[in-house]
Amino acid sequence: MIFALIKVRLLETFSFRAEFLLWLVTLSMPLIMLVFWRSVTQEGSFQGYTLEDFNLYYIAVLVTTILTSCNSVWEINENIRLGELSFWLMRPIHPFINYLAITFAELGLSLIVALPILILALTMSLHNQSFSLLQLVLLVLALLGGFLINQTIHLLIGSLTFWIERSLVVHKVYVAASSVLSGYMFPLAFLPEWAGRIANWLPFRFVIALPVEILTGKHTLLVAAQWVALQFMVVALLFAAALFVWRQGVRRYLAFG
Assess if residue 29 is contained within a domain.
yes
Q: What separation in angstroms does the CA of 164 have from each of 107, 215, 253?
A: 28, 39, 12
- For position 140, what pLDDT does the model report? 93
Assess if residue 49 is contained within a domain.
yes
Q: What residue spans of the chain are helical by DSSP H?
A: 2-15, 17-25, 29-40, 51-68, 72-81, 85-89, 95-128, 133-159, 168-181, 193-199, 204-207, 209-215, 221-256
Assess if residue 160 is contained within a domain.
yes
Which residues are bridge partners to 73 per DSSP? none
Question: Residue 206's domain spans which residues?
Answer: 1-252
For 46-96, how does the pLDDT look when each residue is reduced to its tens digit (9 = 90+)? 777 888 888 889 889 988 988 898 888 888 888 888 877 877 777 778 888
22-26, 108-112, 172-176, 195-199: the lowest-pLDDT one: 22-26
Assess if residue 16 is contained within a domain.
yes
Residues 6+ apart with CB under 8 A from 151: 70, 72, 99, 100, 103
Tally of domains in the chain: 1
254/186: higher pLDDT: 186
Q: Which amino acid is at 124?
A: M
Output DSSP code: residue 198. H
For 219-250, how does the pLDDT look when each residue is reduced to its tens digit (9 = 90+)? 889 999 999 999 999 999 999 999 999 999 88
Residues 6+ apart with CB under 8 A from 37: 46, 49, 54, 58, 186
Residues 6+ apart with CB under 8 A from 40: 46
For 117-127, how does the pLDDT look when each residue is reduced to its tens digit (9 = 90+)? 778 777 777 66
Assess if residue 92 is contained within a domain.
yes
For 125-164, how does the pLDDT look when each residue is reduced to its tens digit (9 = 90+)? 766 666 778 988 999 999 999 999 999 999 999 999 888 8
- For position 5, what pLDDT does the model report? 53
Confidence band of 255 (pLDDT split at 50, 70, 90): low
pTM beyond cutoff 0.95: no
- For position 129, what pLDDT does the model report? 67
Displacement of CA 211 from its chain's centroid (Å): 10
257/175: higher pLDDT: 175
Assess if residue 193 is contained within a domain.
yes
Assess if residue 124 is contained within a domain.
yes
Assess if residue 257 is contained within a domain.
no
